[in-house]
Amino acid sequence: MALTQEEQLANVTSTLRVAHGELLKMEREGFDKAIRDNPALIGEYLIKLRLNCNLLFAFMNKYLVLLSEAQRGTAEKRQGIYEAQLAEKKSPNMSKEHAENMTRIDSANVKVIENKIQQIKNEYSRYDGICTALQSRMREYDTERRMS
């Protein structure tokens, strides 16, 4: 059975959270020196985090397509209702208000998709920062190795 887009996204963010949690646990337990002095361990976590972090772009693109479709669908539905009201000799303001009221749920669904996109952006930013810190430590280690 194929996973839904929501389930796939949840799996990716769960993987990212677990890796982040493992790094935090090691640091709390005093293994921070071992992490910082072990390029293999840094590389392992960097790859795990970066690969999953970059998957977030694929999800964001899917949600952007959904957002475009939802916005267009809402606009077309609202326009249809507006024109139908005008055809019934209603005033433009009354027709506009009626169309907006009749597409309120559609507008809320658009907002839900926009919020999901923002959530994915926030997740990406969070884990990208961790990847940047790990990459920086990798560079430091490489510089230290060359200097010795």
- The 10s digit of each residue's pLDDT in 105-129 is 999 999 999 999 999 999 999 999 9
Per-residue confidence (pLDDT) for residue 31, from 0 to 100: 61
Give the torsion sign (CA, 82, 86, 90, 94): positive
Q: Which of 72, 95, 75 is nearest to 83 (CA)?
A: 95
Q: Which of 55, 22, 49 is nearest to 138 (CA)?
A: 49
Per-residue confidence (pLDDT) for residue 32, from 0 to 100: 55
The predicted model gives 7-12 an average pLDDT of 94
Per-residue confidence (pLDDT) for residue 90, from 0 to 100: 85
pLDDT at 144 over 60: yes
